[in-house]
Structure 1
Amino acid sequence: MLRKFKEYFHKLTTNHDQHRQQVMTIDQHIVQVGATGYYFSRALITDVPEMLAIERAVYAGKTPWDENAFKTELRRQSGRFYVVMRHEDRLVAFCGCAFDDRRQDAHITNIAVHPEFQGRGLGHFLMREMIKRAQRLAYRTVTLEVRYSNVDAQQLYLELGFEKSGIKKRYYFGDHEDAIDMTYRLPVMAND
C-alpha cells in the first residue's frame, strides 16, 4: 500500500514539475508589441548590469534592488521567473515573478521599463505574460506592491484588472514611502 502511494505521489509531483517547466518556457523569442519587434527571453545573470541601469533610469539614479538581490533571485532553481525584453540588442524592460504553489499566488517582485520605451505597451505585455502563466498553473491570484506616488503604474495595474487591496506603511527602503498592495483575482479554470 505504501509503495503504491509513493508511486502515485511521485507521478503526481513529476507531472506537476513537467507542467510547471512547460509554463515557464518561452516559445516565441521575437514578440510584436505595437509596431515593434522585441527579443523576449528569460533573464540571465549577465543581464543584471543592464537591469540595474534600467532601475537607475527609472528611479532617479537609485537602484531599489542591488546586484546581489537580482543575482540571488536569478540563481533560484524554482519558484522564480524573470524575463527581459531587448530592442536592437539593448535591454529595455524586465519583469520578475515569484510563483508560490502553496499559496497559489504569483507575486510580481519587480518590473521596470526604460523611460525611453515607456508608453509603448511593454509593461502591459510583461504583466499579461505573468498573468497568463499564473492562469496556466491554476493559481488564484497575482499580487504586487506599488509605490503610493507611482500613479502611472497604479493606472496600468487597474486597467489590467488589479484591485487595491491594502497599504504597507513605510514599506520602501531608504525613503520609507508607503506601498499599495494590489491583487488580480484569476478566474477558476480547469488545468490545461
Structure 2
Amino acid sequence: MLRRFKQYFQKITKAHSQRRQKIMTIDQHIVTVGPTNYYVSRALITDVPEMLAIEKAVYAGKTPWDENAFKTELRRQSGRFYIVMRHNDRLCAFCGCAFDDRRQDAHITNIAVHPDFQNQGLGRFMMQAMIKRAAYLAYRTVTLEVRYSNVAAQRLYTNIGFEKAGIKKRYYFGDHEDAIDMTYHLPVATSDD
C-alpha cells in the first residue's frame, strides 16, 4: 500500500513539475495586440535597464523597484515568471508574476507599460497571459496590489474580473501611499481537466 502511494505521489509530482516547467517558458514570438505586432519573450537580466527606464517614465522619474530587486527576481530558478514586450526593438511593457504552489496563488509582482504604448491593450494582454498560466496550474487566485491613486489601473483590473479585497495602509515605499489588494478568482478545476 505504501509503495503504491509513493508511486502515485511521484506520478502527480512529476506531472505538476512538467506543467509548472511549461508555464515558466514562453516561445519568443510575435503577437498582435490591436493593430500592432509585438515581440514577446521571457525577461532577461539584460532587459533590466530598459525595465527601469519604463518605471521612470511611468512613475514620474522614480523607480519603485531598483536594479537589484529586478535582477534578484529574474535570477530565481522557480516560482517567478517575467515577460517583456517589444515593438521595433524597443521595450514597451513588462509584467512579472510569483507562482505559489502552496497557496495556489499567482501574484502579479510588477506590471508597467511605457506611456507611449498605454491604452493599446498591452496591460490587458500581459495580465491575461498570467491568468492563463495560473489556470493551467489549477490555481485558485491571481492577486496584486495597486496604488490607491492609480484609478486607470484599477479600472483595467476590474474590467478583467479582479475584485477589491482590502487596503494595505502606507504600503508603498517612499511616499507611503495606500495599496488596494485585488483578487481574481479562477474557476475551480474539475476532475476532467
TM interval, short-chain normalised: over 0.9
Structure 1, unaligned runs of 5 or more:
none
1:72 equivalent in structure 2? 72
Map 1:128-167; keep pairs closer than 5 Å. Answer: 128-167=128-167
Structure 2, unaligned runs of 5 or more:
none
| CA apart distance, 1:25 | 2.6
In structure 2, the residue corresponding to 1:63 is in which secondary structure? coil
* 1:8-28: CA deviation from partner (whole Å, max 9, x where unpaired): 333221211111111223246
2:184 equivalent in structure 1? 184
Structure-1-length-normalised TM-score: 0.96
Kindly, what percent of the aligned residue pairs are identical?
81
In structure 2, the residue corresponding to 1:177 is in which secondary structure? coil
Aligned residues: 192
The answer as to 2:109 corresponding to 1:101 is no
Could you say what the CA RMSD is over the residues aligned between the two structures, in angstroms? Answer: 1.3
* 1:144-170: CA deviation from partner (whole Å, max 9, x where unpaired): 000000000000001001011000000
**In structure 1, what is the Cα distance between the partners aligned to 2:128 and 2:136?**
12
1:121 equivalent in structure 2? 121
| CA apart distance, 1:37 | 0.5
**In structure 2, what is the Cα distance between the partners aligned to 1:135 and 1:2?**
31
**In structure 1, what is the Cα distance between the partners aligned to 2:178 and 2:159?**
21
Contact 2:27 2:41 in 1 (8 A): no
| CA apart distance, 1:71 | 0.5
Structure-2-length-normalised TM-score: 0.95
2:173 equivalent in structure 1? 173
2:85 equivalent in structure 1? 85
